[in-house]
Amino acid sequence: MSDNNTPNLNKDAFATIDIDALQSPKEPAHKPRILLLYGSLRERSFSRLACEEAARILEKLGAETKTFNPSGLPLPDDGVDETHPKVNELRELAVWAEGMVWSSPERHGAMTGILKSQIDWIPLSQGAVRPTQGKTLALMQVCGGSQSFNAVNQMRILGRWMRMITIPNQSSVAKAWAEFDDNDRMKPSGYYNRIVDVMEELVKFTLLTRSRSDYLVDRYSERVETHEQLMQRVNTKSE
């Protein structure tokens, strides 16, 4: 990605991440895979624009990004299942990703239903595959007025529930309508710098954990349950 795509970066302060230094010999060779989700379907959605800026920064840091468009995604429990094309697309992207960015407006003091519906369509387990467990997560919100953290705080709880490694840093952009220019690019500001901070931290956490996520989320209680199920099958066969 050329520098023209990230014009607000201070090139003297911006440091590329030494991927080789953070990877073990068993580390996957591909770029960190990051899925971005946003929570508004407005024509000029600031949560989407913030995601687009985040994606540019992530690619500048050496990650591969994909952004899911929630338009057309049905409500959960509304008479459709995982075979719906949008649901299937979202689930395949969740399996592909090694980390995620969730970006939501704050609406009535909370994250939007549009963002929540996307998460509700991603199961904790899908056969032997766990689409979110052990993967990294970064959180952002955009505000119509003064800065608030209600949406990111809610999403942090949700990220923990989805068994994700939610990074400490987060972004909240106040008066988002004033932070983007006529070309829908984010203006230079402390808010922009914070998004760079968050994406940099996300890539670092992803590189440090992606080959170790199975070990990090290995649980005694689940090993006990697996053992008991195995013994039940053995006993059933011996009868």
What is the CATH classification number for the domain harbouring 234?
3.40.50.360
Among the residue ranges 81-90, 120-129, 170-179, the one predicted with the least confidence is 120-129
What is the SS3 assignment for 140?
Answer: strand
Tokens of residue 194, six digits: 């914070």
In a domain, 125, yes or no: yes
In a domain, 132, yes or no: yes
In a domain, 40, yes or no: yes
d(CA 28, CA 157): 29
N residues, the chain: 239
Number of folded domains in the chain?
A: 1
In a domain, 189, yes or no: yes
Q: How many CB atoms are located within 10 Å of the residue 133 CB?
A: 17
Using N-to-C axis directions, what is the helix angle for 190-209 and 46-60, rounded to 10°? 60
State the average pLDDT over residues 86-100: 96
In a domain, 70, yes or no: yes
- Could you tell me the pLDDT band of residue 31, with boundaries at 50, 70 and 90? very high
Domain range spanning residue 69?
29-238
In a domain, 21, yes or no: no
Return the residue matching tokens 């009535």: 108
Q: Which element (helix H / strand E) includes 171?
A: strand 165-173
Q: pLDDT tens across 164-193, in order?
A: 999 999 999 999 999 999 999 999 999 999
Tokens of residue 12, six digits: 């003297």
With beta carbons less than 8 A apart as the criterion, state whether 202 and 58 touch: yes
Using alpha carbons only, how large is the chain's radius of gyration in Å? Answer: 19
In a domain, 52, yes or no: yes
Mean pLDDT of the chain, nearest integer: 89
In a domain, 194, yes or no: yes
Report residue 172 CA to chain centroid gap.
Answer: 15
Per-residue pLDDT at 206: 95
